[in-house]
């Protein structure tokens, strides 16, 4: 299938099944990513507390783990819910925010990746490289690195980890070690507001809850977020109005828009 067909099938599946996405995520983006979930057609639940997260995940189509506002208790809840998700075959989507910036973040991210079966890891280049054990350049939670010249390394990391790796930046790369895709959709305004990377992870999680193939889910989720970002940039007056326009663009997204705006290709 071509990337446009993959994305259209995924979006249609989300809106026909309305899967629940269980978020254990950071407090900075919680409201925004809940609305991203709704605008794509899925149902969000934010349940970070360890006393209920393992129970709540039983109702989910996907579990999203995001370490943006990290504390050790949150990691314990992620691991507890993640083990239940693994037992039930519920896909886990992991956003290793800021990995490489501090020892706590790097060690926590590696613990999650090592102890759980992760369907998809979505991060920027610095985070993914740091998670893999390579030298990723991260300042705070922002990447100072790129995937250029490192696609083969990231593909190898996907094969070794057993996870689909989705790296976002000026260009996005998705790979499972055998298949690789490049996505060019997106807009520079997406880097000027908080939470658009987390929104991309949420989009991927929605697609993963509705599709059997994690590679297709990562591809479709990033294409959907990228196209919505472009359409929002066309409609907004600047960063202050970008977020509501982005939500509107996600809600309005359909197969006609996807087919007319997609800039993605399968590399192998």
Q: Which positions ≥6 away from 83 have C-beta within 8 Å?
A: 54, 116
pLDDT tens-digit profile of 149-206? 678 889 999 999 999 999 999 999 999 999 999 999 999 999 999 999 999 999 999 9
CB environment 163-172: b (16+ within 10 A), e (fewer): bbbbbbbebb
What whole-number distance in Å separates Cα of residue 57 and Cα of residue 33? 17
Which of 63-67, 122-126, 141-145: highest mean pLDDT?
63-67
Q: Where are the domains of the chain?
A: 3-260
pLDDT category, 135, cuts 50, 70, 90?
A: low
Classify strands 164-168 and 138-139 as parallel, antiparallel or unpaired: unpaired
For residues 130-149, average pLDDT: 60
pTM here is 0.94
pLDDT tens-digit profile of 33-92? 999 999 999 999 999 999 999 999 999 999 999 999 999 999 999 999 999 999 999 999
Contact between 124 and 140 (Cβ < 8 Å): no
Least Cα distance to 233 among 268, 201, 185, 267 occurs for: 185
pLDDT category, 6, cuts 50, 70, 90?
A: very high
Q: What is the CATH number of domain 3-260?
A: 3.40.1190.20
E strands, 113-266, are 120-124, 138-139, 142-143, 164-168, 172-175, 180-183, 264-266
pLDDT category, 147, cuts 50, 70, 90?
A: low
What whole-number distance in Å separates Cα of residue 59 and Cα of residue 117? 18
User: How confident is the model at residue 146, as a pLDDT?
Assistant: 53
pLDDT category, 140, cuts 50, 70, 90?
A: very low
Handedness of CA 159, 183, 186, 216 (dihedral sign): negative
Helix (H) / strand (E) element for 231: namely helix 214-235
Classify strands 172-175 and 164-168 as parallel, antiparallel or unpaired: antiparallel
DSSP string, 36-52: HHHHHT-EEEE---TTT
pLDDT category, 264, cuts 50, 70, 90?
A: very high
Helix (H) / strand (E) element for 93: namely strand 92-95
Helix 103-115 with 72-88: angle, nearest 10 deg: 20
From the CB of residue 252, how many other CB atoms can be counted at a distance below 10 Å?
12
Q: Is the pLDDT of residue 138 over 60?
A: no
């Amino acid at each position: 299938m071509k990337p446009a067909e993959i994305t259209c099938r995924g979006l249609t599946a989300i809106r026909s099944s309305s899967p629940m996405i269980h978020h254990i995520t950071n407090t900075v983006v919680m409201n925004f990513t809940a609305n991203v979930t709704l605008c794509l057609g899925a149902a969000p639940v934010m349940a970070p507390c360890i006393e209920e997260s393992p129970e709540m995940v039983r109702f989910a189509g996907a579990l999203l783990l995001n370490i943006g506002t990290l504390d050790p208790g949150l990691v314990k809840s992620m691991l507890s819910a993640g083990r239940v998700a693994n037992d039930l075959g519920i896909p886990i989507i992991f956003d290793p925010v800021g990995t490489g910036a501090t020892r706590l973040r790097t060690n926590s991210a590696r613990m999650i990746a090592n102890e759980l079966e992760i369907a998809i890891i979505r991060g920027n280049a610095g985070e993914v490289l740091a998670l893999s054990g390579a030298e990723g350049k991260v300042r705070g939670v922002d990447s100072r690195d790129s995937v250029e010249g490192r696609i083969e390394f990231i593909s190898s990391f996907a094969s070794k980890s057993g996870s689909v790796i989705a790296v976002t930046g000026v260009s996005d790369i998705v790979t499972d070690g055998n298949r690789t895709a490049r996505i060019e959709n997106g807009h520079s305004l997406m880097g000027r507001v908080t939470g658009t990377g987390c929104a991309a992870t949420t989009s991927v999680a929605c697609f993963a809850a509705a599709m059997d193939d994690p590679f297709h889910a990562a591809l479709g989720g990033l294409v959907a977020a990228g196209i919505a970002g472009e359409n929002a940039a066309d409609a907004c007056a600047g960063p202050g109005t970008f977020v509501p326009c982005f939500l509107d663009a996600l809600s309005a997204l359909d197969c006609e828009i996807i087919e007319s705006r997609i800039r993605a290709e399968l590399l192998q």
